[in-house]
Amino acid sequence: MRSLLWNSEKYEIEITGLATRGNGPVEPESLEKKEQVCKNCILAFITVEEQDNLSETSEKISEEILEMARETGRNLVVLVPFAHLSNNLSTFKIGKIFFDILEEKLHGKIKIERTHFGSDKSLLLKVPGHPGNIRYREF
């Protein structure tokens, strides 16, 4: 699992198409809304990898997310499936299970939003300049 955590002022995406490629069967989540806007949040861009122990990696990244939220005073995390931090991607099925486990681990500790799994999206990202506002984690 590889992750980029951003302390973000503003995050906006718009889904422009469903994914057509990936490791194994291409199974995007069902699409409920095309747009998502979040302000003042921790953005967790996460790439689930083929060899991941889902329970262990979700536990470790949940701790990092909560620590960053405490340090930056944020009370919202956005879980963003992001296929661009590794060349060794998990299948869609495993990836989606990971995000379910991670959401469960964070439940009740911070407000949670999720971004759609398995789509092309436009992206607007705004991050204030401060040490520790962008963090890389690899487990």
Q: Are 44 and 77 in contact (CB under 8 A)?
A: yes
Site residues for a second copy, 44-63, by CB under 8 A, read none
Are 79 and 36 in contact by the 8 Å Cβ rule? The answer is: no
Q: Would you say 22 or 105 has its CB closer to a second copy?
A: 22
Q: Least distance to a second copy from the beta carbon of 99, Å?
A: 19
CB closer to a second copy, 101 vs 139: 139
Which of 39/84 has CB closer to a second copy? 84
Which one, of 3, 47, 43, lies nearest residue 22 by Cα? 47
Q: Helix 92-106 vs helix 54-72: angle between axes, to the nearest 10 degrees?
A: 50
Q: Is the dihedral of CA 42, 105, 119, 29 positive or negative?
A: negative
Window of 72-80, 91-99, 104-112, 128-136 that interacts with a second copy by CB under 8 A: 128-136
Instruction: Using CB under 8 A, list all residues that contact a second copy.
Output: 4, 13-17, 20-21, 83-87, 120-131, 133-136, 138
